[in-house]
Amino acid sequence: MNKQEFFRQILRGKANSPRDNATAFAPSNIALAKYWGKRDTELNLPCNSSISISLGSLGTKTTLRASNQDRVVLNGEEIPLDKPFAAKIINFLDYFRANLWQGAMEVITENNIPTAAGLASSASGFAALTLAANDFWNLDLDTKTLSAIARIGSGSAARSFWQGFVKWQRGKNPDGLDSYAEPLALAENSPSRNLRLALVKIDEKAKKNPSRDAMIHSAKTSPYFSAWIATAEIELHKIEAAITSGNIQELLQLAESNALAMHAVMLASRPSLLYLQAESIVAIKKVWDLREHGAEIFFTIDAGPNLKLLFEENADTRAIIENNFPSAIFVNPFA
C-alpha cells in the first residue's frame, strides 16, 4: 500500500465542508523505549513498539486557514515552499486535499520548544498538523486513526497526541491501520507521575545523518540490528511494567540502557553512525559519577548529541542537576 491509498481508505466518504480555520496544540515527546527500524518505509511502520513520555506544555501549535495561496509560516517567519520544512507540510496536506476540499491554505505554526533544548519538533509538528486538519475538514476521526495518520508524517508523531506516558503499538497489518499509539493509564497516586526531565543541550546544529536515513542504514548494515529487534519488545514490556507498577528507579535504569543499546546498534552500522559528541560522553560520565555518589539521575539520548536527564521529582536531585548542568531546562511531563 502507498501513502495515497492509505489516506484514501481513511478519508473515503468523508464530508467535504471545511471550516475557515482550525487550531491545535500537540506536546513533543521523548522515547523511553526507542523506535529504531522500519518494516515499511512508505507507511512508516516500525519494526518494534515504543513508549514515550510527553514534554508537557512544550510542543507545537498549528493553525490551518483557507486562503488564496499556500503559505507556511513558522514562528512568525514565512518559509519558502521549496524549503524541506514547508514542502513536507504541504505534501502532507496534499494527501488530505486529494480526497477532500482542495483549496489553498495557510499553515501558521509555532514551536515553543526553546532552541536551547536541542530538540527536533517533527513529532509535535505532525501531530498538531493532523489534529488541525481533522478540525479544519470536520473529519471527526478517532484518536487511533489520527495517530496512524500523523505517523505517516513522522513515526514519533504517532505518540504526540497525549500528555504523560504513551505506547505506540507496532501493529501487524500491511495497511498500517493497527500501528497507532495510545496513552498508558496510571493510577492517580502513581509514583510514575513524579518523573521529570532536564534537557541538556550539547549541540543544536542540524544533524548530518537524519534519523529517517539512519534507521534504514542500521537495519541494512548493523550486525546488532537483529539483536535489537529480538530484545526490543521484551524491554518494552519491562518498561511498561515499571511505569504501571510505579517502579520509577527501575524505569529510569531500563530507559537509559535502552537508549545505549540503540546507540550500540548505530555504532555497529557500516559505515558507523556516531551521534554522540565528546561533550555528550563527558555529560554521560558526569551522570554516572553523580550516581556513584548516590544521586538518582539517569538519561536518555536520541539520534543526536543532547542528553535528556530523567529523575524522580525531589528538591535534592533537582539541586544536584542545577549545580552540575547549569543550563538544563526542566520539564514536567504532566503539566
| 40-43-45-51 Cα dihedral, nearest 10 degrees | 150
Q: Is residue 325 part of the contact set for ligand 2P0 (CB under 6 A)?
A: no
Site string for ligand 2P0, 122-151 (x = CB under 6 A): x-----------------------------
Q: How far is the CB of 156 from ligand 2P0 (least distance, A)?
A: 3
Residues in 250-269 at the binding interface with ligand 2P0, rule: CB under 6 A: none
Closest CB to ligand 2P0 among residues 35, 136:
35
The answer to whether 34 contacts ligand 2P0 (rule: CB under 6 A) is yes
Report d(CA 78, CA 254) in Å as an integer. Answer: 42
Site for ligand 2P0 contains 44 (CB under 6 A)? yes
Helix (H, G, I), strand (E, B) or coil at 29: strand
The only residue of 7, 35, 225, 299 in contact with ligand 2P0, by rule CB under 6 A: 35
Query: Is 37 a residue that touches ligand 2P0 (CB under 6 A)?
Result: no
Whether 211 and 263 have beta carbons less than 8 Å apart is answered as no
Residue 31 binding ligand 2P0, by CB under 6 A = yes
- Which residue among 27, 59, 155, 176 contacts ligand 2P0 (CB under 6 A)? 155
Site string for ligand 2P0, 188-227 (x = CB under 6 A): -----------------------xx---------------
Q: For cell 507498577, name the residue.
A: 245
Residue owning grid cell 546507540? 263
DSSP state of 177: T
What is the phi-psi region of residue 49: left when phi exceeds 0, alpha when psi lies from -120 to 50, beta otherwise?
beta
Give residues with Cβ within 8 angstroms of 100, minimum separation 6: 11, 14, 16, 18, 137
Q: Of residues 54, 63, 147, 156, which one binds ligand 2P0 by CB under 6 A?
A: 156
Closest CB 31 distance from ligand 2P0, rounded Å:
3
By the rule CB under 6 A, 160 interacts with ligand 2P0: no
209 DSSP assignment:
S
Q: Is 49 in the site for ligand 2P0 (CB under 6 A)?
A: no
User: Exposed/middle/buried for 213, CB within 10 Å: 0-12, 13-18, 19+?
Assistant: exposed
Residues 312, 249 contacting (CB under 8 angstroms): yes
**Does residue 303 interact with ligand 2P0 by CB under 6 A?**
yes
Interface pick for ligand 2P0 out of 54, 109, 147, 154 (rule CB under 6 A): 154
Q: CA 13, CA 18: separation in Å to the nearest integer?
A: 14
Q: Taking CB under 6 A as the criterion, which residues in 108-127 touch ligand 2P0?
A: 122
Q: Which stretch binds ligand 2P0 (CB under 6 A): 28-36, 75-83, 220-228, 325-333?
A: 28-36
Report d(CA 66, CA 39) in Å as an integer: 36
Question: 29 vs 317, which CB is nearer to ligand 2P0?
Answer: 29
| Residue 281: partners with Cβ closer than 8 Å, 6 or more residues away | none
Nearer to ligand 2P0 by Cβ, of 181 and 295: the residue is 181
Q: Strand pairing of 71-74 and 105-111?
A: parallel
Compute the least distance from the CB of residue 38 to ligand 2P0, in Å. Answer: 7
**φ, ψ at 252 (rounded to 5°):** -70, -40
Q: Which of 219, 240, 59 is nearest to 150 (CA)?
A: 59
Interface with ligand 2P0 by CB under 6 A: which range of 84-92, 154-162, 180-188, 321-329? 154-162
Residues in touch with ligand 2P0 (CB under 6 A): 31, 34-36, 44, 50, 122, 154-156, 211-212, 302-303
